[in-house]
Structure 1
């Protein structure tokens, strides 16, 4: 829901940052890989209950994830050869790895450190699975049907109540306030489930 507004605010600063980072040795895929490694490190730190380290790693990971696209677009505008979508594929796959592993890491850390129940985190993972299936399936079928949505990203994204901006904020809240992470997880699971149901309905209607 907040992604369009966040992109309007952040596109220009991220483009400037990508320009400052534009060096021959730093490719968009390497930025994606850095975001992946940092995100997995955040999940590990959360599982070990190193909450401050996990929060810092999470935020830096998401910054790297936000910079790979602007750098790729900058290189493409300069005439660099593209990868026929390989960068976009790597990016979305890395995102799913980071999101899922972070949920698992917070669940392990919260259950060990605060005797939190594991069920809300399992429901979040289920909601992520359904939500991801809905928008990835839509993106693939919409492209074949010539009904893709072009907002500058590699895939056709159906808007929803829970998008990237909300996910970054909720995961950061878990790491900032781990004692109440399981209560937040119940609320977040409902939000993601509503978003998944909305995407399923809108995607179905759009492809009819």
Structure 2
């Protein structure tokens, strides 16, 4: 929900740093992989309850995530780079929740499972829509610089980062915060499924009507 406002604010500093990294010969995929490796350090740090150090590596991972996108656009983005970026992002998100579950299983495990279930809903609806949007040639009017169509909702990247920060600063309240965030994810999943279904249905109907018109009119443009 907040990404449409936070991403434009961050674009200028990301571009400034990315330009200098590009001049040094650093590639987007290298930053993606390095950021992911750093981010995974959060799991043992959280499991051993080093929450502030975990917050540091989480922050570094998110900085890398912003920089790799800008680097990709400077070098001209690729489909395989966008694929790598989004897959590793989802793995990282799940890894952070796993770290909190390991830190205090008796208190955190159930809430962590509920949040991971929410992540499954938001992630699957997000990616499934992206596949169909590509097939139907749908374009996002909000996130035009992304590698594929983003379906927005209450729980996006900014909200995830804010909750991760809260988890690290208030680890004794992880369970409560995780249940709240899980609820936000459930609402996001429901709205994405419904709006995605209607959008795809409408777009597919227009495509079918155009194809039928062109067939009946011997290939003339019917748009």
> TM (normalized to structure 1)?
0.91
- Tell me whether 1:127 sits opposite 2:137 in the alignment: no
Q: Which residue of 1 aligns with 2:34?
A: 34
- CA distance in 2 between counterparts of 1:64 and 1:3 reads 17
Match in the other structure for 1:92: 86
1:194 aligns to 2:187 (yes or no): yes
Question: 1:173 deviation in Å?
Answer: 1.0
Residues 33-72 of structure 1 correspond to what in structure 2 (within 5 A)? 33-72=33-72
Alignment of 1:1-208 (within 5 A): 1-76=1-76, 83=78, 85-111=79-105, 115-149=106-140, 151-208=144-201
**Following TM superposition, by how much is the alpha carbon of 1:117 offset from its aligned partner in structure 2, in angstroms?**
3.8
Give the TM-score normalised by structure 2: 0.86
Q: Cα RMSD over matched residues?
A: 1.3
Contact 2:121 2:185 in 1 (8 A): no
Distance in 1 between residues matched to 2:39 and 2:148, nearest whole Å: 22
User: Corresponding residue for 2:208?
Assistant: none
In 2, Cα distance between equivalents of 1:44 and 1:65: 21
Q: CA deviation at 1:20?
A: 2.1
| SS of aligned partner of 1:155 | coil
Q: State the Cα distance separating 1:24 from its structure 2 match.
A: 4.7
| Contact 1:174 1:181 (C-alpha < 8 Å) held by counterparts | yes
2:169, 2:56 → 1: CA distance?
A: 10
Shift of residue 110, structure 1, vs aligned partner:
3.2
Count of aligned pairs between the two proteins: 199
Consecutive unaligned residues in structure 1, runs of 5 or more: 77-81
Tell whether the 8 Å contact from 1:110 to 1:178 is kept in structure 2 after alignment: no
Q: What is the DSSP-based 3-state SS (H/G/I as helix, E as strand, rest coil) of the residue aligned with 2:198?
A: helix
Tell me which structure has the larger Cα radius of gyration. 2
Q: 1:196, 1:138 → 2: CA distance?
A: 12
Gaps of 5+ in 2: 202-223
CA distance in 1, matches of 2:41, 2:163: 18
